[in-house]
């Protein structure tokens, strides 16, 4: 077999071969070259070290087939039903090597070797525009742990019988017929939700159709966009709950996002584009630096407890106008039309004539969550605000307090506790006792030293006292706080600040080594 056959083509990776691979009879390579998505993919694949392109010339893609049946099949123009699938490899795979591997000849690259070099695939849709269909590409390297792609899952591809797999999150560009940005952002987030909760991952056509049942100011298809309300309806339809946060000047956006991303929950982020309209993207990862990135993550004059979001300098989002894992750099607070935003974002969006970077203003964040996750990040933050108010009175002015807040599950918590060096009695108690299925963890460090960690029941209700355990990680800190809580002259102020329930919880003697445990059966709404 040659490098080109009826079924497949193998070529060295280059701008020309990539654009040729993505083209079709309605969209020439020159037109592909003008697409922002194609340019982004070329730059991204160069960074990943792509050396070889393998094109499956006849590929049936489930999502495109649904879209085809819903719209393109009934057009007068004869659109193709089948796509191409374009695979990328690093380290220069030759056609001969690939055919040897397909034929299982001696000396052929093993499936393991092919998997090591595999960078993923792009489904090239046979359309005049919106050629980038389902795209699953490897992420960048972690760069020493800075980059965290927490919302990826495993994908499998079968290339002529060779099983290939990689960790990623599927992406595609909007076709503005069956899917605008909001539909695509939901589609990407549903791919991860399917992995977490075994919920369906419907096609773009199906998402738009379901979302448009709620209200429609105009015809749903061709789709020109979805409202937040319609996006919520699409989330409910797959059996999840839409947890919606309207971004105000006091919303600690970075910490809010990281608190969910750390549990693998992607966020649908709705933004206003400077000088443009409203756009939706899927946030799937973040970069955390060892140095604080911004002095605060809320607007000037607003207050929030110091949280790890302060160390996040960028997010990685699937932006259907560009590509997968596109960078969103966190910038300080700004105003737009009289509204103050806690932070702003800059990334791939440029002003058309001047190439000036455009600012994105965060409006709304939507997390598709399992119905049992009821206590929100902001519910927990309110309790942390209370305690931190007291702690600022106890620590020296130059001290650094920092909360690391993240959602987790009982199984992940127990796995981490088991692997930790917590004192044996605390570890055993945490492992042996029952925990809620979903838990908020809030670890406090003082001058870089962990001093305590709260566990909060995320399945409870927002008006309850959700904290049920506290692991004291520094005896000196516990003792100092305990002495402060016992000051008789401050008793009224302390209960006003903390509430009686929280005050009682903090003063309860640890019942197992350095663990304070409030039996869940004793938890009742305050």
Partner 1 sequence: MATMKLGFGEGDRVPAAQPRPLSLKPLTTAVVVAELRLRLPDVERTIARLEEAQAVSQESLKLEMSV
According to CB under 8 A, which one of 127, 407, 446, 455 is a site residue for partner 1?
446
Residue 396 binds to partner 1 (criterion: CB under 8 A) = yes
CA atoms of 465 and 498, how far apart (whole Å): 11
Residue 1 binds to partner 1 (criterion: CB under 8 A) = no
Shortest Å, Cβ 22 to partner 1: 23
In the complex with partner 1, the residue whose CB is nearer, 97 or 388, is 388
In the complex with partner 1, the residue whose CB is nearer, 137 or 360, is 360
In the complex with partner 1, the residue whose CB is nearer, 96 or 302, is 302
In the complex with partner 1, the residue whose CB is nearer, 205 or 304, is 304
- Residue count of the chain, please give it: 526
- For 411, the token pair is 């199984």
What values do phi and psi take at 52, rounded to 5? -135, 140
Residue 400 binds to partner 1 (criterion: CB under 8 A) = yes
Residue 248 binds to partner 1 (criterion: CB under 8 A) = yes
According to CB under 8 A, which one of 47, 141, 425, 447 is a site residue for partner 1?
447
Interaction mask 343-382, partner 1, x per CB under 8 A = --------------------xx-----------x-xx-xx
According to CB under 8 A, which one of 86, 124, 137, 231 is a site residue for partner 1?
231
Shortest Å, Cβ 182 to partner 1: 4
Shortest Å, Cβ 23 to partner 1: 25
- Nearest CA to 165 among 177, 152, 147, 176? 152
Shortest Å, Cβ 442 to partner 1: 12
What letter does residue 97 receive in the DSSP assignment?
Answer: H
CA atoms of 137 and 122, how far apart (whole Å): 8
CA atoms of 353 and 355, how far apart (whole Å): 6
Q: Kindly identify the residues of this chain, within the stretch 266-325, that bind partner 1 according to CB under 8 A.
A: 270, 273, 276-280, 288, 290-292, 295, 302-304, 306, 308, 310-311, 321
Note whether 441 and 408 are within 8 A (CB).
yes
Residue 225 binds to partner 1 (criterion: CB under 8 A) = yes
CA atoms of 220 and 147, how far apart (whole Å): 38
- For 228, the token pair is 């937040």
- For 490, the token pair is 């401050």
SS3 string, 262-274, reads CCCCCEEEEEEEC
CA atoms of 495 and 209, how far apart (whole Å): 52
In the complex with partner 1, the residue whose CB is nearer, 117 or 243, is 243
Angle at 175 between CA 174 and CA 179, to 5 degrees: 65
Q: Kindly identify the residues of this chain, within the stretch 182-211, that bind partner 1 according to CB under 8 A.
A: 182, 185
Selected range binding partner 1 among 44-52, 191-199, 331-339, 446-454, rule: CB under 8 A: 446-454
Shortest Å, Cβ 274 to partner 1: 12
Note whether 395 and 460 are within 8 A (CB).
no
Q: Kindly identify the residues of this chain, within the stretch 40-99, that bind partner 1 according to CB under 8 A.
A: none
Pairing of strands 147-148, 132-137: unpaired
């Amino acid at each position: 077999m040659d490098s080109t056959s009826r079924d497949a083509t193998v070529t060295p990776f280059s701008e020309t071969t990539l654009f040729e691979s993505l083209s079709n009879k309605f969209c020439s390579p020159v037109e592909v070259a003008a697409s922002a998505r194609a340019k982004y993919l070329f730059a991204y694949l160069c960074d990943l070290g792509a050396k070889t392109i393998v094109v499956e010339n006849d590929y049936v893609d489930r999502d495109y087939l649904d879209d085809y049946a819903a719209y393109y099949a009934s057009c007068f123009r004869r659109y193709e039903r089948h796509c191409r699938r374009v695979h990328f490899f690093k380290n220069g795979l030759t056609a001969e090597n690939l055919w040897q591997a397909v034929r299982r000849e001696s000396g052929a690259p093993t499936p393991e070797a092919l998997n090591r070099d595999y960078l993923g695939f792009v489904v090239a849709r046979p359309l005049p525009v919106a050629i980038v269909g389902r795209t699953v590409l490897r992420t960048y390297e972690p760069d020493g742990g800075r980059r965290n792609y927490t919302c990826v899952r495993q994908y499998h591809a079968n290339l002529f019988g060779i099983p290939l797999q990689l960790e990623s999150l599927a992406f595609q560009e909007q076709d503005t017929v069956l899917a605008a940005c909001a539909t695509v952002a939901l589609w990407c987030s549903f791919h991860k939700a399917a992995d977490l909760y075994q919920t369906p991952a419907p096609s773009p056509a199906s998402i738009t159709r379901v979302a448009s049942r709620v209200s429609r100011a105009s015809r749903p298809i061709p789709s020109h966009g979805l409202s937040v309300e319609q996006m919520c309806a699409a989330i409910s339809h797959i059996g999840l709950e839409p947890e919606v946060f309207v971004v105000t000047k006091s919303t600690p956006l970075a910490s809010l996002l990281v608190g969910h991303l750390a549990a693998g929950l992607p966020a649908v982020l709705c933004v206003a584009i400077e000088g443009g309209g409203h756009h939706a993207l899927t946030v799937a990862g973040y970069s955390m630096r060892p140095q604080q990135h911004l002095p605060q993550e809320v607007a000037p004059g607003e207050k929030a407890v110091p949280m790890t979001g302060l160390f996040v300098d960028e997010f990685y989002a699937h932006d259907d106008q560009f590509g997968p894992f596109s960078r969103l750099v966190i910038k300080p607070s700004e105003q737009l039309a009289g509204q103050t935003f806690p932070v702003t974002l800059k990334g791939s969006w440029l002003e058309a004539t001047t190439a000036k970077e455009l600012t994105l203003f965060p409006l709304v964040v939507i997390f598709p969550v399992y119905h049992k996750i009821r206590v929100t990040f902001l519910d927990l933050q309110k309790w942390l605000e209370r305690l931190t108010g007291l702690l600022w009175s106890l620590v020296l002015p130059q001290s650094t307090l920092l909360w690391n807040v993240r959602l987790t599950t009982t199984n992940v918590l127990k796995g981490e506790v088991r692997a930790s060096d917590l004192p044996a009695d605390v570890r055993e108690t945490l492992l042996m006792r029952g925990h809620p299925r979903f838990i908020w963890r809030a670890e406090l460090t003082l001058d870089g030293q962990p001093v305590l960690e709260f566990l909060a029941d995320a399945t409870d209700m927002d008006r309850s006292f959700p904290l049920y355990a506290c692991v004291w990680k520094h005896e000196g800190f516990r003792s100092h706080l305990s002495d402060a809580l016992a000051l008789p002259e401050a008793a009224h102020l302390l209960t006003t600040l903390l509430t009686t329930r929280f005050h009682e919880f903090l003063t309860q003697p640890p019942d197992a080594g350095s663990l304070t445990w409030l039996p869940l059966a004793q938890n009742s709404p305050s």
